[in-house]
Structure 1
Amino acid sequence: MSIDDDAPLMQVMRHFGLARDALLGIGGEACVFALDGERIVRIHHPGAARETVVRRAQLLEDLHQTASAVPFSIPRVLETTEVHGRLLTIEPRLPGRPLLHVLGEAAGAERDHLVLRFLEASTRLRDLRVSHAWYGDLCEAEPIRTPSYRSYLELRAKKSLACAGSAFDGIDPARLAAALPEPERPSFVHMDLYPGNVLVEGRDVSAVIDFGGPAIVGDARLDPLSAVIYLTPFITTTATDRDRRLAREWLQAQHLDALFEPAERWIAARWSFATDDVRLHRWCRRVLLGHQGDP
C-alpha cells in the first residue's frame, strides 16, 4: 500500500505539516519522516502493538547507558504518542546517509573500505550492554525468553516456520538450533544489521539505526555473522560478488567462518514468516530448501 492509499497516515502527515519529500524510508515496522533538521517522526504501521513501541523505547533508553562505548550514534526516543489512531515516536535525526544508497554509487577501493567499516561496526554492537540473564526477544509484544540460547533459537525458528505455512515442512528447528554453540554470556544483538540500517558520513559509519522487533538477547557473534549473511543480492540489492568475497575473508579473519552456514540457516528460518517479501522469501527457500532463482 502506498502512502496515498493510507488515509490515517496522510492525516498524521497533515497534523505535522509533512510533505511527501520528507519521507526518509519505509521499513517493516514504520514510516520515517524528517520532522525538521534535528528530529524525525517514526509513524508505526497499522496494527502496531503499544507494548512493542514501549519496549523499543525502553530498550533504547537502556542501551544509551553504554552508548559512549561505540564509535557511532544510536537512536533514542524523545516522545511516544498517538495521532489519528497511529502510534508514533519522535527521535533525534542521526547523521549520515544509508550505506545501502552509498554503495549504489561507490566502487573500487572506496567501496571496499565502506564494506569493511560496516562489518567492523557489527562487532562493536556487543559493547552496548543489556542486563538480562535470559535469552530471547527484546521488543516483541509476546516475547520468547528462555534460560538457554539454543532453546530460544529452537522456539523462535519453530514460531517463524509455523507462520510460513507448509512451504518449509521438514525443516527441523531443533537441528537448526543445535548447530550453533551456546555463548559464554547473554549479549545484545541488533539482528537486522544490513546496509540499509547503517548510516555513513565520508569514510566512516556515523550511526546504526532501526533497533526494533528483531533485536534479541543472544550471542554477540550473531551480529557480525548476520552482517555478512545479509550481503546477498536477495536482501541487499546493491551487494556484489566482490562484496561477498571480501566479507567472507573478513569473517575468516574473525575466526567466525565455521559458523556462517549454521547461522545462515537459522536466520533464514527466523525470517521465513515474511512471505509477503518476495525477495526475502525466495532467499529463505534457497537457503533452507536449496531452491535456486534469480534475485
Structure 2
Amino acid sequence: MSIQDDAPLLAVMGHFGLSEDALLGIGGEACVFALGKDRIARVHHPGTARGAVDLRARLLEDLRRSASAVPFSIPSVLEITERHGRFITIEPRLPGRPLLRVLAEVTGAERDDLVTRFLEASTRLCALRLDHEGYGDLCEAEPIRASSHRAYLERRARKSLASAGDAFAGVDPSRLAAALPEPARPSFVHMDLFPGNVLVEDQEVSAVVDFGGPSALADARLEPLSAVAYLTPFITPTATDRDRRLAREWLQAQHLDALLAPAERWLAARWSFARDDVRLHQWCREVLLERTEHG
C-alpha cells in the first residue's frame, strides 16, 4: 500500500503538518518522518498493538543506561501518542544518513572504509547491557525464553518456520540450533543490523536504529555474523560482490568464518515467517532450500 492509499496515515501526517518530503524511510514496523531537525515521528503500521510499542520503549530505556559504552547514538522514546488509529512515537532525530543510501553513491576505498566501519560497529553493540537472565526475545508479546542458547535458537526457529507454512516443511530447527555454539553468557543482539538500520556521517557510524522486534539476548557472535549475512542483494540491494568479499575477509580475521554458513541458515529460518517481504523470503528460500539442493 502506498502512502496515498493509506487514509489513516495521511490523517496522521496532516495532524503533524507533514508532507511526503518529510519521509525518512519505511521499515517493517513503521514509517518514519522528520519532525524538523531535532525529532522524528515513528508512525507504526496498522495492527500494531500498544503492548508492542511499550515493549520497544522499555527496551530502549533499559539500553540507555549503558549507551555511553558504544561510540554511536541509539534511539530513545520521548513520547507515545495515538492518532487516527495509529500509534506514534516521538523520538530524537539521530545524526547521519542511512548507509544503504550512501553505498549507492560511493566507490573504491571510501566505500571499503564504510563497509568496514559498519562491520566493526556490529562488534560493539554487545557493550549494551540488560539486567536479564537467560536467552530469549526482548520485544515479543509472547517471548521465547530459555536457559541455554541452543534451546532458544531451536524454539525461535521452530516458531518462525511454523508461521511460514509448508514452504520450509523439511527444515529441522534442532539441527539448525545444534550447528551453532553455546556462548559463555548472553549478550544483547540487535539481530536486524543491515545497512538500512545504520546511519553514517563523516565516514563513521553515527547511529544504529530500528531496535525492536528481532532484538534478543543471544550469542554476541550472531551480530557480526548477521551483519555479514545481510550483505546480500536480497536484503541490501546496494551491496556488491566486492562488499561481500571484504566482509568475508573481515569475518575470517575475527575467526568467525566457520560459523557463517550455520548462522545464515538459522537467520533464514528466523525470518522465514516474513512472507510479505518478497526479497527477504527469496533469500530464506535460497539459503534453506536451494543451497541444500545444490550442495
Pick the TM interval, shorter chain.
Answer: over 0.9
User: Take 2:237 and 2:2, find their aligned partners in 1: how far apart are those partners?
Assistant: 21
Are positions 1:229 and 2:266 aligned together?
Answer: no
Which TM-score applies when normalising by structure 2?
Answer: 0.97
Report the counterpart of residue 136 of structure 1 in structure 2.
136
What do the CA deviations read for 1:115-163 (whole angstroms, capped 9, x no partner)? 0000000000010011111211101122111111111111111111111
Which residue number in structure 1 is paired with residue 88 of structure 2?
Answer: 88
Task: Find the counterpart in structure 1 of residue 58 from structure 2.
Answer: 58
Q: Is 1:191 aligned to 2:207, yes or no?
A: no
**For each residue in 1:217-257, what CA deviation from the matched residue of structure 2 results, as whole angstroms up to 9, or x when unmatched?**
11111110000000001110000111000000000111111
Paired with 1:55 and 1:259, the residues of 2 have a C-alpha distance of 31
Query: Within 2, Cα distance between the matches of 1:288 and 1:145?
Result: 25
Report the Cα distance in structure 1 between the residues aligned to 2:22 and 2:278, rounded to whole angstroms: 27
Q: Deviations over 1:47-99 (max 9, x none)?
A: 10111110110111111101111110000000111111111100000000000
Change (3 A) 1:2 1:24: same
- Alignment gaps of 5+ in structure 2: none
In structure 2, C-alpha distance between the alignment counterparts of 1:87 and 1:277, rounded to whole Å:
22
State how 1:105-124 maps to structure 2 within 5 Å.
105-124=105-124
* RMSD across aligned positions (CA): 1.0
* Residue of structure 1 in register with 2:153 after alignment: 153
Identity %: 76
1:166-210 alpha-carbon deviations (Å, 9 max, x no partner): 111110001001111111111100000000000000110000000
Within 5 Å, give how 1:61-76 maps onto structure 2. Answer: 61-76=61-76
Aligned residues of 1:150 and 1:177 also touching (Cα < 8 A): yes
Alignment of 1:274-285 (within 5 A): 274-285=274-285
Aligned residue in 1 for 2:26? 26
Aligned partner of 1:45 in structure 2 is 45
Cα separation, 1, equivalents of 2:83 and 2:143 = 26
Structure 1 gap segments, 5+ residues each = none
2: CA distance, partners of 1:155 / 1:291: 23
2:247 matched residue in structure 1: 247
Aligned equivalents of 2:230, 2:290: Cα separation in 1: 17
In the alignment, residue 83 of structure 1 is paired with which amino acid? R
The one-letter code of the counterpart of 2:127 is D
Size of the alignment, in residue pairs? 292
- Matching residue of 1:272: 272
In 2, distance between residues paired with 1:84 and 1:280? 30
**2:4 & 2:291 partners in 1: Cα distance?**
36
Between the aligned partners of 2:127 and 2:291, the Cα distance in structure 1 is: 37
Normalization by structure 1: what TM-score?
A: 0.97
Helix, strand or coil at the partner of 2:250: helix
Deviations 1:9-28 (A, max 9, x none): 11111111111110000000
* Over 4 Å off, 4+ runs: none
SS of residue matched to 1:199: strand
Aligned to 1:287: 287
The answer to whether the 8 Å contact 1:49/1:141 transfers is: no
Shift, 1:291, TM fit: 6.0
Secondary structure at the residue paired with 1:164? helix
Distance in 2, matches of 1:219 and 1:15, equals 43
Return the offset for 1:290.
Answer: 1.4
